[in-house]
């Protein structure tokens, strides 16, 4: 399975936003370094926004094109539909719900079968989570200290998720609205990038 293994902090600085949410990711970032105050062309800005979106969700180009094709067929605004599809991937939901401290750890948890969806084992990170679906940490995985701490110590989570700390379960209660999704991306420019291809 192909995946992005670029240095995380360097990638955050190059893209000009804290993609991974780590407090030290942007420590060495300053104006004029990386993308800082460089004036980008229209194409350059579209490309930057596309790269940010891919980095937030840890998807590769082939997957992005597939999501884009699906979003174009949606009745919603294309950019909103695209971001919503990416947001409801199982690996991202595991991360947002607090089972994992990063998207990479979330993907690994799914692949290694620590996560159950509606009581069933699912090991595909790209699996789509629907409204009402329950995501649970497998019973014997609750003994793993890191997983337990991640879930119990999560400070905040998006409004479209409810969590039950006692049972190590979280539920997607509604379809996320674009303004609720915590990413710094101009998805309209991403749509323009793919439309121009």
| Homologous superfamily, domain 8-84 | Ribosomal protein S4/S9, N-terminal domain (1.10.1050.10)
pLDDT interval class at 172 (50, 70, 90)? very high
Q: Does domain 88-177 have CATH number 1.25.40.10?
A: no
The CA dihedral of 138, 139, 140, 145, to the nearest 10 degrees, is 80
pLDDT interval class at 197 (50, 70, 90)? confident
Q: Is the pLDDT of residue 179 over 70?
A: yes
Would you state the pLDDT for residue 53? 96
pLDDT interval class at 84 (50, 70, 90)? very high
23 vs 8: CA distance, rounded Å: 12
Percent of the chain whose predicted confidence (pLDDT) is above 90: 74
* Residue 169, beta-bridge partner list: 136, 164
Q: String of b and e for 23-56 (b: at least 16 CB within 10 Å)?
A: eebbeebeeeebbeeeeeeeeebbebbbbbbbbb
Contacts of 79 (CB under 8 A, 6+ apart): 71, 178, 187, 188, 190, 191
Would you state the pLDDT for residue 119? 94
Would you state the pLDDT for residue 28? 64
Q: Where in the chain is the domain with CATH 3.10.290.10?
A: 88-177
Q: Where in the chain is the domain with CATH 1.10.1050.10?
A: 8-84
pLDDT interval class at 182 (50, 70, 90)? very high
Q: What is the Cα gyration radius of the chain?
A: 17
In the predicted model, what is the mean pLDDT of residues 163-187? 95
């Amino acid at each position: 399975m192909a995946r992005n293994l670029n240095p995380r902090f360097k990638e955050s600085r190059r893209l000009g936003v804290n993609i991974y949410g780590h407090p030290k990711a942007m420590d060495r970032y300053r104006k004029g370094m990386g993308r800082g105050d460089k004036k980008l062309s229209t194409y350059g800005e579209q490309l930057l926004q596309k790269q940010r979106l891919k980095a937030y969700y840890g998807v590769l180009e082939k997957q992005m094109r597939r999501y884009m094709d699906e979003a174009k067929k949606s009745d919603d605004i294309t950019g909103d539909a695209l971001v919503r599809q990416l947001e409801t991937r199982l690996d991202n939901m595991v991360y947002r719900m607090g089972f994992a401290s990063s998207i990479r750890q979330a993907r690994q948890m799914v692949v290694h079968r620590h996560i159950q969806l509606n009581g069933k084992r699912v090991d595909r990170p790209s699996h789509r989570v629907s409204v009402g679906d329950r995501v649970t940490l497998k019973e014997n995985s609750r003994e793993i200290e890191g997983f337990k701490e991640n879930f119990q110590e999560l400070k905040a989570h998006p409004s479209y998720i409810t969590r039950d700390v006692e049972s190590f379960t979280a539920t997607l209660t509604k379809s996320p609205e674009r303004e609720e999704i915590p990413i710094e991306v101009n998805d309209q420019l991403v749509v323009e990038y793919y439309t121009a291809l």
